[in-house]
Structure 1
Amino acid sequence: MAQLDTQKIISTIANSKKTTPVKVYLKGKLSELHFPKSVHAFIGKHTGTVIGDWAEIKPILKKAKLDDYYVETAGRNTGVPLLDIKAANARIEPGAIIRDQVLIGDNAVIMMGAIINIGAEIGAGTMIDMGAVLGGRAIVGKHCH
């Protein structure tokens, strides 16, 4: 398992753009709404969903004539996104919180409620149990529980 560079992790935390990621469900006349390319907009005639940074979405919603909208907020002024786990060769249960720049070994198991911070490394075949918290740069070897 490749060790992550400490200085890169520190730089990521210090210099990353802080965002407030949101998902907004919209209802009303949506044909006049125009979002920047950085916002993922899935707009129908009368309903839609937009996903992006609240700082970019909020001004558009303030000007819009909508019947209703609902905002789900995933974080506030966050500088480190969550890890994209789709390609992980591991079992990761819903409710696990895993930040970006985490290494997860093959066939590891991450249980619900586990919290894994940036820079942590989890060995192959290891189980991180419910409620476990791994701080930044924590290293857990292979076949541990």
Structure 2
Amino acid sequence: MRTEEIIRLIKESKKRTPTKAYIAGDLSGLHEEGVTFIGGADFGILLGDRADVERMLTENAGKIRSVHLETAARNSAVPMAELTKYEARIEPGAVIRDMVDIGKAAVIMMGAVINIGAVIGERTMIDMNAVVGGRAQIGADCHIGAGAVVAGVIE
């Protein structure tokens, strides 16, 4: 991904505050554009942007007995990666942004951070608490040691 594309994406994308709301009450007929409802008649989970979820909760306040909100990020321009698309070992606690290339049989250890546009080669290990910056490129068969920082360039 080219620098200009990443900059444009970050600048122009709608900033989102991804939120989960666990709700209990009379949930029949709940619907809000942009909010996904998963559940039944008396308990469910709402998934969506914080503003949309809060609007839905406010509009249905009389039907809802209890709510617990969890927010994953605040005004985020770039979502997190969908980890199942990689043919790699990715340990819990790794932080990987969307639009990252991770080669086959790579190993990403817990606490590793990989930013947008980065490329990780096949069979490479990104060890615990290592940081791979935006657009940084790591070749195949490398080991980026624990705590290392490989700066990327997004200007």
Name the TM-score class by shorter chain: over 0.9
| Map of 1:133 onto structure 2 | 131
Aligned residue pairs: how many?
A: 141
Displacement of 1:74: 0.6
Q: Which runs of 5+ in 1 are unaligned?
A: none
Q: Which runs of 5+ in 2 are unaligned?
A: 144-155
Mapping for residues 81-92 of structure 1, pairs under 5 Å = 81-92=79-90
Displacement of 1:32: 4.2
Mapping for residues 75-86 of structure 1, pairs under 5 Å = 75-86=73-84
1:16 aligned to 4, 13, 33, which one?
13
Q: Classify the secondary structure of the residue corresponding to 1:94.
A: coil
Q: Classify the secondary structure of the residue corresponding to 1:13.
A: helix
Mapping for residues 34-45 of structure 1, pairs under 5 Å = 34-36=31-33, 38-45=34-41
Identity of aligned residues (%): 50
The answer to whether structure 1 residue 58 and structure 2 residue 49 are counterparts is no
Q: Classify the secondary structure of the residue corresponding to 2:80.
A: coil
Structure 2 letter corresponding to 1:48: G
For 1:107 and 1:40, the matched residues in 2 are separated by 34
| Map of 2:94 onto structure 1 | 96
For 1:133 and 1:114, the matched residues in 2 are separated by 6
Q: Classify the secondary structure of the residue corresponding to 1:86.
A: helix
Q: Classify the secondary structure of the residue corresponding to 2:4.
A: helix
Displacement of 1:124: 0.5
Mapping for residues 107-122 of structure 1, pairs under 5 Å = 107-122=105-120
Structure 2 letter corresponding to 1:30: L
| Map of 2:70 onto structure 1 | 72
Displacement of 1:63: 2.6
For 1:40 and 1:109, the matched residues in 2 are separated by 33
For 1:5 and 1:137, the matched residues in 2 are separated by 8
- Displacement over 2 Å in runs of 4+: none
Q: Normalising to structure 2: TM-score of the pair?
A: 0.87
Structure 2 letter corresponding to 1:104: I
Deviations 1:7-30 (A, max 9, x none): 111111111100100111110111
